Amino acid sequence: MTGTEVLTGRVQDRNGPWLADRLLELGVELRHITLCGDRPADIEAQLRFLADQGVDLIITSGGLGPTADDMTVEVVARFCGLDLALDEALDARIGEIVTSLMKRQTGSQIVDAEAVRAANRKQALVPAGAVVLDPVGTAPGVVIAGTPTVVVLPGPPRELQPMWQAAVATDAVQTAIAGRTQYQQQTVRMFGLPESGLADTLRDAERAVPGFDRLEITTCLRRGELEIVTRYEPRDAGAYSDLLMVLRERHAREIFSEDGDLVDDQVAGLLDGRSIATAESCTAGLLAARLTERPGSSAYVAGGVVVYSNAAKAAMLGVDSTLIETHGAVSEPVAEAMVRGALQRFGADTAVAITGIAGPGGGTATKPVGTVCFSVALAEGTSLTRTLTLPGNRSDVRERSTTVAMHLLRRTLTGRG
Amino acid sequence: MTGTEVLTGRVQDRNGPWLADRLLELGVELRHITLCGDRPADIEAQLRFLADQGVDLIITSGGLGPTADDMTVEVVARFCGLDLALDEALDARIGEIVTSLMKRQTGSQIVDAEAVRAANRKQALVPAGAVVLDPVGTAPGVVIAGTPTVVVLPGPPRELQPMWQAAVATDAVQTAIAGRTQYQQQTVRMFGLPESGLADTLRDAERAVPGFDRLEITTCLRRGELEIVTRYEPRDAGAYSDLLMVLRERHAREIFSEDGDLVDDQVAGLLDGRSIATAESCTAGLLAARLTERPGSSAYVAGGVVVYSNAAKAAMLGVDSTLIETHGAVSEPVAEAMVRGALQRFGADTAVAITGIAGPGGGTATKPVGTVCFSVALAEGTSLTRTLTLPGNRSDVRERSTTVAMHLLRRTLTGRG
């Protein structure tokens, strides 16, 4: 992973985690992820370190751009003892791509296409003998067979992801990963259990489950959800099912997924054939955005309102202003009035309302920052209202609130409210 | 950075980028970021690699939890040649914290506090002679003076961030970073210029600007915005102002920030004293959520609607259904009807409407996936409507749309529509 920008908070590395999952699927064990700036010495030091660790495959991403600070190909070539050569066909290809890109570039004045091609010619320099991966954007990737085999990919995820598929198909990569073990991987998800509670259970399971030590268990608490990922070789499937039984015994109420499904997948399924509307205050659209992340969600999402001001709560959802005066905007009666308004105004059969104090301001002794009221209602009459105090800063409270709402939706739609 | 979960797509490493920015602010040069799983050999190999690079300071994050797979402190202690010792006071302290945490844990049944304390006792084992950093969550951090000095921090950003401030205050860290150079850093942001266009400009600047080679320039294209970050030693300030002049000459229209301000900061300032409402289709709340990320945004955000269905467009915004039949839901007339509806229904003086095709389905020959219509309107009469074709997948189009909307808002509010 290179690019001085990945050494700053300005760019989130999305490639490391994505490639990690692809390798996991392939049964390839990922040993190290390293990031450094566009400094040849640092890039080379990391390549050397990884090679010294005896890995079979090194994947680099980034540093393939037209600007002078992009030098990954050059450094990798030197590391592999290869010279760079201009690939004429590739050069022409890049020229075409860039010219057509220029036309699409939204909002840009037309830049001299020749100058741009000159800037991109650099990208047509590839290590002699390397397998060239067709550009998805303007930058080609390369695969250099050897010990270790090195795959050089561009930084933008939109370019890297399809190009990785092409890289895996090459003989060089297939040879490099030939020795892999095929692992099984299972994921269990829970909601509402603290990580230390699970640690307790796992310590008991260690004694109770034969072969427990051959299970590679990773636990992770995120947004109030606890994820337990277990990897094991096929012969240890029995140990895993024993572990699963222990988890079910102890945490039947908290387990919501044994097949890795996300609550988002489950809610999407439960909403099939229904029509949902949202009424959001503190989350201000995050729940509606989350419900519509999936293609096809327009089939069941009618819409939603973001009612930040009290006037908007009245105008858009018909929330009685005296209700707000009496109980406050963050209260269960107001959440219930919001959810009723959402059902009615959108003619939906399912609705969720969220009103809370995301902070940092607005907290009181009785309603501290993090206080959030949720209400879920179905046209057929079922409804569920809860008030929680969520930890963290403004963005944590907002994000966590959407997760709580998804779980309350799930419980209501499965009749387990 | 450790934790098997960071080697999967399941967890995004937020600590690397955050720490990178803090180090940059301190003028400390960040050479490498490395991530590995909870494998002692891999953690030790990375510590060794970093030490071999001659760095003055190593910061680790993660692997301090109560579960058995958390072993960073143990490995670091061994690496530094120190034994682990139980810190009784710390142990008691963690006990209290955990017990009170248990009470807060939303939705959890009460777990046996003794068992939990046992799980956490492990966290009270610290390297002999290390400086202990008070727990923010349940895990303490440690600082071990030496060459290099090693700072061990917990994984959760909410715990790591305050603890880093405490770590920096220690003599050990101050000594380790004493040799740093104080760099200046300036950020210029542009919208609507392709990266290759900038590369072209920078190549000319290289010839035109004396001392150009002493400027460390990083460019990054993200969500349609181009960010140019330049670091330099104080004595090279002249070279930077020359570079800035070249950028202004060439790209006056695209530069929207010369002081690093984000378009979000600028729009927040422009909305001071105003009242804004949003009407979103394909972005489904992402713009409202973005406008309310800042504390205090409730002063100028009235609210918004997410109108996914045509019925909702009519019911919530009074969009004439014949308008939709004639021009289609994704059209400038419908965007303009939506923005008028938002102004009126929320009694706002500023409104933005977005309707588009995020895909993957729904594209046509005349309106391909990525086609998005934007309309911005002010109560005083100004309005601005644009249709763009945005690149990328569903999530790219949705996210990029909010950025375009922010820039159209900025232009309208500054009378530069």
Positive or negative CA dihedral for B190, B195, B198, B202? positive
Identify the residue with better confidence: B373 or B9.
B373
pLDDT tens-place values along chain A, 417 residues long = 444 455 555 556 788 888 988 888 888 888 898 888 888 899 999 999 999 999 999 999 988 887 777 889 999 999 999 999 998 888 888 888 877 766 655 444 445 666 666 767 788 889 998 999 998 888 899 999 998 999 999 988 889 999 999 999 999 999 999 988 778 889 999 998 888 889 899 999 999 999 999 998 988 887 779 999 998 999 999 999 999 999 999 999 999 999 999 999 999 999 999 999 999 999 999 999 999 999 999 999 999 999 988 999 999 999 999 999 999 999 999 999 999 999 999 999 999 999 999 999 999 999 999 999 999 999 999 999 999 999 889 999 999 999 999 999 999 999 875
C-alpha distances (whole Å) from A12 to each of A92, A193, B287 are 32, 29, 21
| Sequence ranges of chain B with CATH classification 3.30.70.2860 | 184-257
Any chain B CB within 8 A of the CB of A355? Answer: no
pLDDT of residue A100: 73
- In this complex, do B33 and A36 lie within 8 Å of one another by their Cβ atoms? yes
Q: What is the DSSP letter of B38?
A: S
Residue B232 has pLDDT above 80, yes or no: yes
Residue of chain B whose alpha carbon sits nearest to that of A224: B106
What confidence score (pLDDT) does residue A68 get? 73
| CB distance A192 to B108 below 8 Å | yes
Confidence (pLDDT) at B181: 77
Q: Is the pLDDT reported for residue B7 higher than 60?
A: no
Distance from CA of B129 to the nearest CA of A (A): 28
Inter-chain residue contact B284 with A292, CB threshold 8 Å: yes
> Which DSSP category does B150 fall into?
E
Quote the CATH superfamily of domain A263-414: CinA-like (3.90.950.20)
- Judged against a pLDDT cut of 60, whether residue B11 lies above it is answered with no
Position A352 scores a pLDDT of: 98
Find which of A44, A282, A292 to mutate to test the B interface (most B CBs within 10 Å of its CB): A292
Chain B residue numbers with beta carbons less than 8 Å from the beta carbon of A18 are 9
**DSSP of B286-345, one letter per residue?**
HHHHHHTSSTTGGGTEEEEEEE-SHHHHHHHH---HHHHHHH-SSSHHHHHHHHHHHHHH
Length of chain B measured in residues: 417
Tens-digit pLDDT profile for residues B93-127: 888 887 776 665 544 444 566 666 676 778 888 99
User: What pLDDT shows up at residue A289?
Assistant: 97
For B325-337, the pLDDT digits (tens) are: 999 999 999 999 9
Would you tell me which residues 190-209 of chain B have a C-beta closer than 8 angstroms to some C-beta of chain A? 191-200, 202-203, 206
Q: Is A191–B107 a contact, with Cβ atoms under 8 angstroms apart? A: yes
Contact A341, A279 (CB under 8 A): yes
How far apart CA B356 and CA B335 sit, in angstroms, is 9
Q: What integer pLDDT is reported at residue B106 of this predicted model?
A: 45
- Phi/psi class of residue B54: alpha, beta or left (left: φ > 0; alpha: ψ in -120 to 50)? left
CB pairs under 8 A between A and B: 360
Cβ partners under 8 Å of residue B321, min gap 6:
B310, B314
From B42, B53, B308, residue closest to A303, measured CB to CB: B308
Q: Chain B window 92-131: which residues touch A at a Cβ cutoff of 8 Å?
A: 98, 101-102, 104-109, 111-112, 115-116, 118-120
Local confidence band at B2 (pLDDT 50, 70, 90 cut-offs):
very low
Chain mean position to CA A408: 22
**Quick check: A280 contacting B, CB < 8 Å?**
yes
Residue type, A350: T
Query: Which of A220, A304, A312 has the CB atom closest to B302's CB atom?
Result: A312
Which residues are CB-contacts of B24 (< 8 A; sequence separation ≥ 6)?
A8, B30, B183, B185, B231
Candidates B27, B357, B370; CA nearest to B178 is: B27
Least confident stretch, A273-282, B85-94, B167-176: B85-94
pTM for the whole thing?
Answer: 0.77
Cβ atoms of residues A138 and A94 within 8 Å:
yes
Contact state of B68 with A202 under an 8 Å Cβ cutoff: yes
Chain A: residue whose CA lies nearest to B34: A34
Please report the pLDDT score of residue B306 as a whole number.
Answer: 97
Which residues of B are less than 8 Å from A120 in CB distance?
A: 196
pLDDT for residue A79: 93
Cβ within 8 Å, pair A347-B291? no
Q: Kindly report the nearest CA distance between residue A330 and chain B, in angstroms.
A: 14
d(CA B28, CA B22): 9
Query: Could you read off the pLDDT of B275-301 as tens digits, one per residue?
Result: 999 999 999 999 999 999 999 999 999
pLDDT at A110: 47
Q: What angle do CA B295, B300, B304 make, to 5 degrees?
A: 100
pLDDT digit string (tens) for B135-152? 888 789 999 999 899 999
pLDDT in the model for residue A116? 66
Each residue of B240-267: pLDDT tens digit?
999 999 999 999 999 999 999 999 999 9
Looking at residue B30, its amino acid is: L
- B184-257, CATH topology level: Alpha-Beta Plaits (3.30.70)
Q: Which of B50, B71, B220 to mutate to test the interface with A (most CBs of A within 10 A)?
A: B220
What are the start and end residues of each CATH 3.40.980.10 domain in chain B?
A: 4-177
Give the minimum alpha-carbon distance from A130 to chain B in angstroms, rounded to a whole number: 26
Q: Where are the alpha helices (DSSP H) in A169-232?
A: 171-176, 195-208
Exposed e or buried b per residue across A374-407, where buried means at least 16 C-beta atoms within 10 angstroms of its C-beta: bbbbbeeeebbbbbbebbbbbebbbbbbbbbbbb
Phi, psi of B306 (to 5 degrees): -110, 110
CA distance to A398, B255, B263, per residue, from B226 (Å): 28, 9, 12
Measure the CA–CA gap between B28 and B51, rounded to whole angstroms. Answer: 16
Mean pLDDT, rounded, of chain B: 89
CA dist A113 and B346 (Å) reads 47
A185 touches chain B (CB under 8 A): no
Q: What is the mean predicted confidence (pLDDT) over B223-251?
A: 93
| Region(s) of chain A under CATH 3.90.950.20 | 263-414
> From the centroid of its chain, how far is CA A226?
16
- Chain A CB contacts of B66 under 8 Å are 195-196, 199
Torsions phi, psi for B267 (to 5 deg) = -65, -40
Dist CA B335 CA B353 (whole Å):
6
Instruction: Tell me yes or no: is domain A4-177 CATH 3.20.20.70.
Output: no
ipTM value for the complex: 0.76
Angle among Cα A76, A79, A80 to the nearest 5 degrees reads: 90
Query: Are B87 and B126 in contact, with CB atoms under 8 Å apart?
Result: yes
CB within 8 Å: A308 and B286: no
